[in-house]
Amino acid sequence: MESQLALIEQSFNYRYSVWVRDALDELPDNFTITDPSISGHPIVFASRGFLKMSGYSKEEVIGKNGRAFQGPGTSRRSIIEIQEAIQEERTIQTILLNYRKDGTPIWMLFHMSPVFSKEDGRVIHFVAVQVPMSRKPRRSGSGPGRDEVCEDGCRSRDIVFGSCRREVCSDSVLELERLLAFESLFDSDNRDDEEPREASDQEKRRAAAAVNNILSLLTHYSELTGKLVCEKRCTLSGIGLLGASLIISLGRIKQSFVLTDPHLPEMPIVYASDAFLKLTGYARHEVLGCQCMFLSGVDTDPSTLSQVKESIRTEQACTEG
């Protein structure tokens, strides 16, 4: 966990100036920022609004995946929509059910957008804004409710499945009342996870505006370091780089390894695992784009290097101790 926290620190410190966290904390919105290049696609920043809404502390959130806030009522379809947006590296707005720390459900308009490196077009972060939503108004049934009066003056004790009848035996009435009492346990007024109404245009605009404000801050504070980010992929040099979805999948592999692209000049490293970074002591930005040979030194066996080069030339596996 300590090594992951170090990677999370690098995730912000390399790309943005040191004041970016304070600036983001001044925003009133509920949002998180995640880094797909770190194993597990963890949250690397959580706003004060998000912490207040969720009931979690900063220490409990940083390093966690967004799935930690989902629960039994979370729609599988919404999860798939978000996964597809990550895979396609695009913006998405969807209604999502998450859960607070105390277990209470909360419906939200979930708006997620990628943040790209202006230098090479890689996805650096995902920004996810959450706008809380109220539930749908209770749907009225076809018949009158408890204690309501029918057209001919009879009350709920004279109602059986929506029909007004005066010749109902007392046993049937008692059974009906037991059914109504049982049904009330599942009434929409008592269920916080009842599906909310559709998001209004105002809520959609509010979410989009929040994302734009966050992206503006990230862009500004990346300019101070010279490691510019942008809302849209604005370079073609990223051709050959790995997509965010593949990087997230590779992050599940715990071994130390790198991937290189033989179709690019000098076969640069396009992916380095967290375990490799921990083993070598390098930061991710110091590794990506380099040749594997950059790790070689005066004591590196020349014959081993020759075998590696020959393996690359012949496209054969090579294992050296």
Read off the tokens for 16: 């943005």
pLDDT of 321: 57
pLDDT at position 195 is: 63
Token pair recorded at residue 282: 């390098």
Question: At which residue do the structure tokens 């020759």 appear?
Answer: 306
pTM above 0.85, yes or no: no
User: Residue 127's pLDDT is what?
Assistant: 97
Q: Phi first, then psi: what are they for 125, rounded to 5°?
A: -145, 165
Here the contacts of 138-145 (C-beta below 8 Å, separation 24 or greater) are: 138/187, 138/188, 138/189, 139/188
Give the CA-trace dihedral at 199, 202, 203, 208, to 10 degrees.
120
Burial 4-40 (b: 16+ CB within 10 A, else e): beebbebbbeebbbeebeeebeebebbbbbbbbbbbb
Alpha-carbon distances, residue 213 vs 1, 26, 90, 127, 201 (angstroms): 31, 11, 18, 11, 18
Whether residue 218 contacts residue 115, with contact meaning beta carbons closer than 8 Å, is answered with: yes
pLDDT, tens digit, 9 for 90 and up, residues 132-190: 987 654 444 444 444 444 444 444 444 344 444 444 444 554 554 554 444 444 444 44
pLDDT confidence of residue 175: 52
How high is the pLDDT of residue 240?
52
Element (H, E) at 123: strand 123-132
Low-confidence ranges of the chain (pLDDT < 50): 137-170, 173, 176, 179-191, 238-239
- pLDDT for 34 equals 96
How many other C-beta atoms lie within 10 A of the C-beta of residue 128? 23
How far apart CA 159 and CA 37 sit, in angstroms, is 62
Rounded alpha-carbon distances, angstroms, from residue 221 to 20, 74, 133, 207, 254: 6, 35, 31, 22, 32
Q: Tell me what pLDDT residue 217 has.
A: 95
Cβ burial 235-250 (10 Å sphere, 16+ → b, else e): eeebeebbbbbebbeb
The pLDDT value given to residue 14: 87
pLDDT value for 252: 83
Q: What is the pLDDT at residue 189?
A: 42
| Per-residue pLDDT at 11 | 85
Q: How many CB atoms lie within 10 A of CB 300?
A: 11
Question: Looking at the DSSP assignment, which residues form a beta bridge with residue 88?
Answer: none
